[in-house]
Amino acid sequence: MILHGYFRSSAAWRVRIALHLKGLTVEHRHQHLRKGEQFSPEYLALNPQGLLPSLILDDGAVLTQSLAICEYLDETCPDPALLPADPLGRARVRAFAQVIACDIHPVQNLRVLKALQARGQTQDDTHGWARDVISSGFDALETLVVGQSGPYAFGDTPTLADICLVPQMANARRFGVVLRWPRLAAIEAACLALPAFAETHPDLQPDAE
């Protein structure tokens, strides 16, 4: 398999974590987002959105969208599971992950920030808006894990929820958010004690700057 990513892409980091948890190895190829390499004709032929990550399977099939990739990996390599066995548990984990992937993270996408700045918003404006969205989203996430036991978001093993949370916590720091959510911080600490999270950290990637 080949994973197209970028060291700082939180969506690509999610897939790196999932692959590591599953014990799967891939060839890494890098698309430099700030240089616009994701818009090359060659990459757009793989991913017409020009977004990261993209995963090329052994048979040449191409998967896009990090949550879809993670769920594919979970279905084809089910141990360890990234989703609980029961339908209610799966729905709760997916909801937590989607708060991040669908509602919080998109406003920090480089393409979105550049588009806003091109329409007259200053960098301070766009970064302030990102901080507000992260903070309100984290308020919701902290509530969603109230009463959940175990060191991770939903129990004693990492799930798709944790895979999404850890990269988003790193994004929050990049935007200067004061992390005032003790449960989220504890989950992050537990995750980063695991090689799958620590060894896939952006700072440790070959294309890190």
Say whether both 125 and 150 belong to one domain: yes
Structural domain contains residue 127 = yes
Say whether both 33 and 55 belong to one domain: yes
């240089």: which residue's tokens? 35
Quick one: pLDDT at residue 123? 86
Integer angstrom CA distances of residue 180 from 2, 140, 169, 207: 37, 13, 11, 31
pLDDT tens by residue, 88-133? 999 999 999 999 999 999 888 878 888 888 899 898 988 898 999 9
Per the confidence metrics, is the pTM higher than 0.75? yes
Domain hosting 173: range is: 87-196
Domains: count for the chain: 2
Quick one: pLDDT at residue 116? 86
User: Mapping DSSP to helix (H, G, I), strand (E, B) and coil, where does residue 84 land?
Assistant: coil
Structural domain contains residue 143 = yes
pLDDT tens by residue, 8-61? 999 999 999 999 999 999 999 999 998 999 999 999 999 999 999 999 999 999
Say whether both 109 and 185 belong to one domain: yes
For the chain, list the strands marked E by DSSP.
2-5, 27-30, 54-56, 62-64
Structural domain contains residue 73 = yes
User: Are 191 and 152 contacting, i.e. CB atoms less than 8 angstroms apart?
Assistant: yes
Say whether both 121 and 39 belong to one domain: no
* Angstrom distance (rounded) from CA 3 to CA 25: 10
User: Are 152 and 184 contacting, i.e. CB atoms less than 8 angstroms apart?
Assistant: no
Choose the final residue of a domain: 41, 62, 80.
80
Q: What is the average pLDDT value for the chain, to the nearest integer?
A: 96
